[in-house]
Structure 1
Amino acid sequence: MRIPQTLCCASITALCLAASVPAAAQTAAPADGQIASPTPPQADAPLQQGDITGDIVVTAQRKSERLQDVGIAVAAFSGEALRTQGVTQSLDIAKFTPGVSASGTLGGQGMQFSIRGVTQSDYNDAIEAPVAVYIDDVYISSQQGQGMALYDMARVEVLKGPQGTLFGRNATGGLAHFIVNKPELGTTSGYIDATYGRFNQTKLEGAINLPLGEQFALRASGIWNRHDSVWKNVYPAGVVAGAPLNFGPAGVSPAGQDLGDEDALAGRLQLLWEPSAAVQIRLTGSAFRQNLSESPWTSSAVVPQVDSAGRVVGGIFASPTETRSAIGPDGQNYFNPSVLPFQGFQFSPTGDGRRAPGANWFGYVPVDIGKRQLSKDFALSDLNRFRAYNGTLHVDADLGGAQLASVTAWSQYRKNFLLDADGSPVNGLAFGTKSNIRTFSQELRLNGESGALSWTGGAYYLHITADNAQGLLAPKGSALSAVFGMTTTGVDPISVFTLKTDSASIFGQTSWEFAPKFNFILGGRLIREHQSYDFSSGAYANVSDYSVDTGTLLFPLQPSFSDKRTEWLWAGKAQIEYRPTSGLLLYAGINRGVKAGSYNGKLFDGTAALTPAQIPYRPEILTSFEGGFKLTGPGSRYTLNGTFFHYRYNDYQSFVFSDISGFVQNRDARTNGVEMEATARIGNDLRVGVTGSYIDAKVKDLQIAPGVFRDTRPTYTPKYSAGANIRYTVPVAIAGGDLSVGGVLSYQSSFYQNARNFASEKFAGRTLIDLSTDWSAGSGITLSAFVRNLTDKRYKTVGLDLATACGCNLEAYGMPRTWGVSIGYKF
């Protein structure tokens, strides 16, 4: 990786500049992580630290402000609150946040955020998501990296809507910022927490802060979280009598193991040097290791609907009595292997081109997921791997009239994931992906204020090299290996590509109190985006059925493609704020967000390869019109916030999955939405919060089949979502300590897992209930317990439509009911 010399020197320059600052420099309003500590909420803050929501200090606008004073739709959670609720993964915060949901692939093992219908369904690891995620001010370019372990967190902030004028990487959907606890001078402190739960969950988390003289401090923190299998594999149950398990002399081995295991280990080491009262220099290193089972997909039988031209234009879930292989334009059975090639492998007990009742094409009737069962041949309890490494240098200095922040970061993400692509005990086909993503970023930022004017400005550089290999795999004896005539050896049809990105930008934002009670905000970012892309596709010798093999190329499958391009983009914001009375904020504005274009990496699936014109796709541009209010009652006894927004998209990047693969199309889109949040403190002991959102989103003229266009709804976008949380603190001491109990309810309406919006791609809504209790004593000892998914609801989270490959869908389910108990000690 080559980095321009001026950018290599940026952090060194910041260090030299910071070191020259006199200790007597005046204090300006600091950004997060800088010299002066944020002013804590007053004693009348409506909710305690242990609650999920509350009037806490945030840095959403790169300066410390109370949440209720920020004219942005922001959700914030303290680290202590999340730990009390038993939250261990980043994506879990979606259930507490209106308009935010979790989307992803890989059987729930690869997840990402979706905000207000802005999402990325492409499973290509080289592609960045439209919702940016930061840990400790460092951008996480890997989609897999968004599903990180949470530990030693100060708080989490979720900002909704386009974010381009203040944070490093421009994002159309919004961002999530995970802010860690930082070292402190002159104090020895820390905590340790141990949890045991269902499925033999064992979690150890802890941190220690050590002073090293007057100018140095060290903070070490880590977490180990593991649990046994969640889903029982009853392989080969569900196969109709007479249906084959393999299409050659042998199948994959070993096979049929239980799934859902996880073993995650993460650590962070921070060294703080404070050479003067005006300078902080912090060096951070972190690592994350995640070992998982094969992706725990299940399978459901579906029936594709075909029009008179043989195009798949719909689909339904198969009933227990359904025998049609596909539904023709006349509603009758449609069987035509020349149009739907995998129909040639269909098991038809009657020999007339009909499937077995309720089965997929291979003769598998899905087993009962209600019993936490699945039935799969391609399944190992210890298979998938993800590794993340990060090193960061933070330099913060008070320059007198301004605050300087420099963040220099290097990261690497390595991933090797495989899954059973037909989700059944039949040896049909598999999927695999392996990636190696390296990033370097440098941000320089200045904050200052003078009278009625406050401002932020800076520059940002990001380099990403993403190497990825993915494709359908044809293990020995699989249906796909039979297509290639290689059932005895198997074969790996793999797409291999490298995407390099160099993004450089300058940005700034000002806030001007131009009249009493009125504030005007104006910001912008200018971006130069350079990309280079290389793509090849070929059949590789199968060395192991449980690996993505790219060592020996047997023959090419799709034309190779290479391209370079440079794009100039811009983002901007204009907003007016009005505070007519104490405790009331009204705001309205327009915000322009952009996400760079990228490249398709279509898998080989037997259909025509993309043309050179279809491989690159354009940037998406989102113009947001948003207004809202934030009301804080007397004594902060209650808060009421509302947001109303209209999104107008040009060239929305919509990923359409069909025929065992997919590609991104640029289409126009629009979204209208409303979000509401309310909190109340009833007496001194009861805290209550409710949230709700409505999202009406449409992607216009999406091509759902060759020559067939429809208006559709974006993926993973429920129209309605709502939540409630309640927490009660017992007013008298219990066993010498404070006891509180609480619960969280979250609801999402139905949504589609694929942009085509077929009936077979629609997931039902769900309501989840979580309960928790905690007790703490003045001695530092804490006890807590939690139950998540109290009603043991089975709800689908992600899916893939494979109707033309196996007459089935791949679907993953959220975690069943879990419980845990914890003991901790703070010192």
Structure 2
Amino acid sequence: MRGSISVSALLLAASLGATPVFAQTAPQTPPEQDSSTQLDEVIVTANKREQRLIDVPIAVTAVGAEQLQNSGVSDIRELTGLAPSVQFQTPGGGADSSIRIRGIGTTSTNPGLESSVGVVIDGVTRARTGVALSELGDLQRIEVLRGPQGTLFGRNTSSGLINIVTREPSFTGVEGRLEGTYGNYSDMRLAGAVNIPLSDNAAFRLEASSETRDGFYQDANSAETLDNLDRQFVRAKLRYEPSETLRWLFSADYTNRDENCCVAVLAIAGPTYGLVNTLAATHGDVGYTSTDPFDREVSKSSNRQNQEDIVDWGLSAQADWDLGFGTLTSITAYRSWEAYRSQDFDHSGADLGFFAPDGLHQSFDVFTQELRLQGTHGIVD
């Protein structure tokens, strides 16, 4: 009780003896934000119009040009490191592949089945997943749209969509780039681009790349290495704006692949291991060389060929006409894709099953026309 009375007395004395001091309050100004901490505004076209990413009411992962360049992405299969929700399955090369988003997608790689994950490059839909696995050139951004997108992008997008936007010609001035890379297995890649303004309202852009690499796997029955790279790509774009309300964009691209794909390694020696080696020895080949997949040793029959030749090319023309109350967009495109494959698909020297040279042939010739009117007028958006 005594302690509580003395503490109260001290507090009362302190409050009576205190002299109030009044200071004029200065208006507070927000501290200047360091430019290094400011985030660039991300613009996407997930709703087929330019919007800030924060305003788009769907689940979107957007990867910009700088991040794509720093990560070295030149093929959408390399996107998995930047968008973990995307998975690619390529058991038989570029012509035999599928895409999943959030683990959902068409499980079969049969080219007769349409994918449930759509791929759109510069507004043009690619008919099958394998058709989309090509060189991309200089990229502006890649958008991964998770969930069904059929309302705006049509069929084959029930699991999601990958929207790829490549760089357009610029009126600002002549610019270009040239880069070369070298890696193990004699991997050599050369890529370049040049942008040339033709006039005040016309500009041209040309991009090209070439990459070669030795195979990862040594064939036990020949001096050949398998799963190599040999691919070339070129794309030209012309941008023309005859007036302030009309804009044209013409594009043409060509991709070629000539590779000896694909092989498989033996992970477990089953009960037929000895039989396969015996059958292969009857015609002077090795059945299996190793049961350790990390040895990177494979076998195929010496009289068989593993081959994958792909030719992919296309033309497109896009017109954007500002009508005042909205924008009328027309995208006309034609694409041709053709693949020839041969393979020793028993993956041994026993010669049990194979596709003859050029024996597996796939091709798609697709013409598309999109006509879209969008804008805002009163309560209509």
**Alignment correspondent of 2:366:** 439
Local SS of the residue matching 1:206: strand
Local SS of the residue matching 1:165: helix
Say yes or no: does 1:375 pair with 2:303. no
Instruction: Specify which of 104, 118, 135 is matched with residue 118 of structure 1.
Output: 104
Local SS of the residue matching 1:106: coil
> What one-letter code is carried by the residue in structure 2 that aligns with 1:226?
T
Instruction: Specify which of 83, 88, 97 is matched with residue 74 of structure 2.
Output: 88
Say yes or no: does 1:231 pair with 2:217. yes
Find the aligned partners of 1:73 and 1:135 in 2 and give their Cα distance: 19
- Structure 1's 366 and 261: CA in aligned 2 closer, same or farther, altered over 3 A? same
Equivalenced residue count is: 338
Instruction: Specify which of 170, 180, 185 is matched with residue 171 of structure 2.
Output: 185
Deviation per CA, 1:381-419: give whole Å up to 9, x if none: 873200101000100111101011110000000100122
Q: Residues 235 and 252 of structure 2 are in contact (CA less than 8 Å); yes or no, is this contact kept in structure 1?
A: yes
Following superposition, the deviation at residue 80 of structure 1 comes to 3.1
- Structure 1's 95 and 378: CA in aligned 2 closer, same or farther, altered over 3 A? farther
Say yes or no: does 1:280 pair with 2:266. no
**Alignment correspondent of 1:347:** 275
Say yes or no: does 1:412 pair with 2:336. yes
**Alignment correspondent of 2:235:** 268
> What one-letter code is carried by the residue in structure 2 that aligns with 1:177?
N
- Structure 1's 427 and 381: CA in aligned 2 closer, same or farther, altered over 3 A? closer
Local SS of the residue matching 2:164: strand
- Percent of aligned pairs sharing the same letter: 28
**Alignment correspondent of 2:203:** 217
Find the aligned partners of 2:51 and 2:35 in 1 and give their Cα distance: 16
Q: Residues 103 and 119 of structure 1 are in contact (CA less than 8 Å); yes or no, is this contact kept in structure 2?
A: no
Instruction: Specify which of 400, 403, 413 is matched with residue 327 of structure 2.
Output: 403
**Alignment correspondent of 2:265:** 298
Find the aligned partners of 2:300 and 2:39 in 1 and give their Cα distance: 47
- Structure 1's 430 and 109: CA in aligned 2 closer, same or farther, altered over 3 A? same
Q: Please give the residue correspondences for 1:80-159 in structure 2 after superposition, counting only pairs within 5 Å.
A: 80-107=66-93, 110-159=96-145
Structure with more strand by fraction:
1
> What one-letter code is carried by the residue in structure 2 that aligns with 1:288?
T
Following superposition, the deviation at residue 45 of structure 1 comes to 7.3
- Structure 1's 75 and 294: CA in aligned 2 closer, same or farther, altered over 3 A? same
Q: Please give the residue correspondences for 1:558-577 in structure 2 after superposition, counting only pairs within 5 Å.
A: none
Find the aligned partners of 1:169 and 1:286 in 2 and give their Cα distance: 25
Find the aligned partners of 1:157 and 1:127 in 2 and give their Cα distance: 24
Say yes or no: does 1:428 pair with 2:352. yes
Deviation per CA, 1:5-39: give whole Å up to 9, x if none: xxxxxxxxxxxxxxxxxxxxxxxxxxxxxxxxxxx
> What one-letter code is carried by the residue in structure 2 that aligns with 1:415?
A
Q: Please give the residue correspondences for 1:752-767 in structure 2 after superposition, counting only pairs within 5 Å.
A: none
Q: Residues 109 and 295 of structure 1 are in contact (CA less than 8 Å); yes or no, is this contact kept in structure 2?
A: no
> What one-letter code is carried by the residue in structure 2 that aligns with 1:87?
V
Q: Residues 269 and 284 of structure 1 are in contact (CA less than 8 Å); yes or no, is this contact kept in structure 2?
A: yes
| Greater relative CO, 1 or 2 (CA 8 Å, sep 6+) | 1
Find the aligned partners of 1:45 and 1:113 in 2 and give their Cα distance: 36
Find the aligned partners of 2:327 and 2:311 in 1 and give their Cα distance: 35
Find the aligned partners of 2:170 and 2:242 in 1 and give their Cα distance: 14
Following superposition, the deviation at residue 223 of structure 1 comes to 1.3
Q: Residues 118 and 172 of structure 1 are in contact (CA less than 8 Å); yes or no, is this contact kept in structure 2?
A: no
Q: Residues 139 and 168 of structure 1 are in contact (CA less than 8 Å); yes or no, is this contact kept in structure 2?
A: no
Following superposition, the deviation at residue 365 of structure 1 comes to 6.8
Following superposition, the deviation at residue 294 of structure 1 comes to 3.0
- Structure 1's 256 and 396: CA in aligned 2 closer, same or farther, altered over 3 A? same
Structure number with greater Rg is: 2
Q: Please give the residue correspondences for 1:11-22 in structure 2 after superposition, counting only pairs within 5 Å.
A: none
Find the aligned partners of 1:424 and 1:189 in 2 and give their Cα distance: 51
Q: Residues 294 and 380 of structure 1 are in contact (CA less than 8 Å); yes or no, is this contact kept in structure 2?
A: no
Q: Residues 272 and 282 of structure 1 are in contact (CA less than 8 Å); yes or no, is this contact kept in structure 2?
A: yes
Backbone CA RMSD of aligned residues: 2.9
Deviation per CA, 1:429-456: give whole Å up to 9, x if none: 11452112100000011111235652xx
Following superposition, the deviation at residue 83 of structure 1 comes to 2.6
Q: Residues 422 and 428 of structure 1 are in contact (CA less than 8 Å); yes or no, is this contact kept in structure 2?
A: yes
Deviation per CA, 1:663-704: give whole Å up to 9, x if none: xxxxxxxxxxxxxxxxxxxxxxxxxxxxxxxxxxxxxxxxxx
> What one-letter code is carried by the residue in structure 1 that aligns with 2:275?
F
**Alignment correspondent of 2:30:** none
Q: Residues 194 and 207 of structure 2 are in contact (CA less than 8 Å); yes or no, is this contact kept in structure 1?
A: yes
- Structure 1's 82 and 378: CA in aligned 2 closer, same or farther, altered over 3 A? farther
- Structure 1's 434 and 109: CA in aligned 2 closer, same or farther, altered over 3 A? closer
> What one-letter code is carried by the residue in structure 2 that aligns with 1:118?
I
Q: Residues 283 and 392 of structure 1 are in contact (CA less than 8 Å); yes or no, is this contact kept in structure 2?
A: yes
> What one-letter code is carried by the residue in structure 1 that aligns with 2:335?
S
Structure with more helix by fraction:
2
> What one-letter code is carried by the residue in structure 2 that aligns with 1:403?
T
> What one-letter code is carried by the residue in structure 2 that aligns with 1:445?
R
**Alignment correspondent of 1:695:** none
Q: Residues 257 and 379 of structure 1 are in contact (CA less than 8 Å); yes or no, is this contact kept in structure 2?
A: no
Q: Residues 100 and 114 of structure 1 are in contact (CA less than 8 Å); yes or no, is this contact kept in structure 2?
A: yes
Find the aligned partners of 1:258 and 1:283 in 2 and give their Cα distance: 40
